[in-house]
Chains A and B, each alone.
Chain A
Amino acid sequence: MECRVLSIQSHVVRGYVGNKSATFPLQVLGFEVDSINSVQFSNHTGYAHWKGQVLTAEELNVLYEGIKLNQVNRYDYILTGYSRDSSFLETVVDIIQELKKANPSLVYVCDPVMGDHGAMYVPEYLLPVYRDKVVPLADILTPNQFEAELLTGRKITTEEDALEVMDLLHKLGPETVVLTSTDLPSKRGDQFLVALGSQNIVKADGTKTSQKICMDMPKVDAVFVGTGDLFAAMLLAWTHHHPKDLKAACEKTASVMHHVIRRTMTYANEMAGPGKRPSPAQLELRMVQSKADIENPAVVLEARVL
């Protein structure tokens, strides 16, 4: 498999977020990963302390220039995630547009990170950049409920709302949309959260339709950082292997998440000791230890086709 991904995300010295979260699993699955580190921090910002440096839009451009001058600016996929800087994001958009000209089949996997649970955790002025410039270029989008609502200006209170919002997102650009988590009530009870997906497909007779799926995912009593980044990376991988079968792609992706999170929880609780809440350091994803699950995830979650 000769598949090259350009991933533009954060780098942390220690732990698994951004490029640290995405690169190893993709490499394990045989993808060539070129990575531009948008920042270099000691660790993610959920720790008591964090220190480091950020890459400016200009510096990003310089790195891309190097790739271009060597005429190696051909990619099959681009992957982006958390960003705090609108000029950086706009430079990313310019780069993606150019890369799409170089390879029209390029697939841009975009996690439009803006916030969660009703609050933004990036500057507000990123929203119009995402909505008007980034999302229109995206082919695969992985918003959570809050981000999907922000991008479409519509609230989600029922499954029907969610389906309509995903259709609105299709109209903005991406052929594949996955609502990675919602507050919708799960048929399996309150220990589960609902995720949904929608993929535009062209039927054999030429008509356009979409495949919509729904997944009930077990909730976990812990705050993980980096799981969204891992999710987007694994969705890239599994939609690559199942380009017309969102159900299969999501089942594999969610299953990998499940295995990694389970392993991490067990380790974190062991490290913290009985009755104690694990620290951010202890909750770092057990990525390296999950290599086998990443390579060949046992499917433990089922997606329903709606």
Chain B
Amino acid sequence: MECRVLSIQSHVVRGYVGNKSASFPLQVLGFEVDSINSVQFSNHTGYSHWKGQVLTADELHVLYEGIKLNKVHQYDYVLTGYTRDTSFLEMVVDIIQELKRANPNLVYVCDPVLGDHGSMYVPQNLYPVYKNKVVPVADIITPNQFEAELLTGKNITTEKDAVEVMDLLHAMGPDTVVITSSDLPSRLGDRFLVSLGSQRKVRPDGSRTTQRVRMEVHKVDAVFVGTGDLFAAMLLAWTHHYPDDLKMACEKTFSVMHHVIQRTISYAHGEKTHQEVFRHVCFVNGFVDGSVCHKNTSASFITLNSPQTLMCLFNILYVYIIFLCSV
């Protein structure tokens, strides 16, 4: 498989967020990963302390120039995630537009990291950039419910709302949308959260169809950072292998998440008491302000007092499929 990904994300010396979260798994799956580090920090901003340096839009451009001058700017995928800087984001858009001219088949996988649970955790001025410039060039996007609502201006209270919002997002650009987490009530009870996906395709006869997917995903009583980045990377990988089967791609992606998280929790439990916050690996989209403690975007609470219950729950992952054909 000769597949080259350009990933423009954060680098942390220690831990797994941004490019650290995305590169190794993609490489393990055989993808060539070129990575531009948008920042270099000691660790993610959920720790008590973090220190480091950021890349400016100009510096990003300089790096891209180097790649271009050597005529090696052919990519099959571009992957982006958490950003705090509008000029940086706009430079990313320019680069992607140029890369798409160089390879019209390029697939841009975009995690539009804006916030969660009703509030933004990036500067507000990023919102119009995502809405008007970034999402229109995206092919696959992985918003959470809040981000999907922000981008479309429509609230989600029912599954029907979610499907409409995904169609609105399709109309903005991307043929594949996965709402990575939502507050919709799960059929399996309050220990589960609902994720949804939608993929627009054109049939051989020219007619259009949309495959919709719904997943009931275990909630976890922990704060993870970097899992959103892992999710987007793995969705890239598995939609690559299953370009016409969002169900399969999502099952693989969510399953990877499950295994990594399970292993992380077991390890963290082995190390600390269940009251402490886990610092190792995984979960949740993006960071929050350096001064504020971590936010848990897609977890709520199950009791951890019974390890057997925890392991049992983790061994179950239900996927429901809803096929809707729209012409």
Where the two chains meet, the residues of A that have a C-beta atom closer than 8 Å to any C-beta of B are 11, 13-14, 23-24, 27-28, 34-37, 40-43, 47-53, 55, 59, 62-67, 69-70, 72, 281, 287-289, 291
Contacts and interface: CB of A to CB of B under 8 A. Distances in A.
Given A69-B48, A72-B43, 17 more contacts: A14-B34, A34-B14, A37-B40, A40-B40, A40-B63, A42-B63, A43-B70, A47-B70, A52-B63, A55-B53, A64-B42, A70-B42, A70-B49, A287-B27, A288-B30, A289-B30, A291-B27
Contacts of B43: 66-67, 70, 72
A34 B33 CA distance: 18
A13 B33 CA distance: 9
B67 A43 contact: yes
Contacts of A70: 42-43, 47-49
B51 interface: yes
Nearest to A50: B66
A13 B14 contact: no
Interface size, B (range): 35 or more
Nearest to B281: A32
B67 A11 contact: no
Given A49-B70, A63-B13, A24 B27 contact: yes
B14 A42 contact: no
B65 to A, nearest CB: 6
Contacts of B69: 48-49, 51
A281 to B, nearest CB: 5
A250 to B, nearest CB: 26
A27 B49 contact: no
Nearest to A34: B14
Contact of B36 (A13, A49, A62, A69): A13
10 contacts: A13-B35, A14-B72, A34-B14, A40-B40, A40-B63, A48-B70, A63-B51, A65-B42, A66-B13, A69-B48
B24 interface: yes
A65 B51 contact: yes
Nearest to B73: A14
A288 B25 CA distance: 11
B159 interface: no
A50 B55 CA distance: 17
A291 B62 contact: no
A48 B70 CA distance: 7
Contacts of B62: 51-53
Interface string B40-80: 11110001111111010001001111110110100000000
A176 B280 CA distance: 33
A66 B31 contact: no
Contact of A281 (B47, B53, B70): B70
Contacts of B63: 13, 40-42, 51-53
Contact of A41 (B28, B53, B66, B72): B66
B294 interface: no
A38 B281 CA distance: 24
B186 interface: no
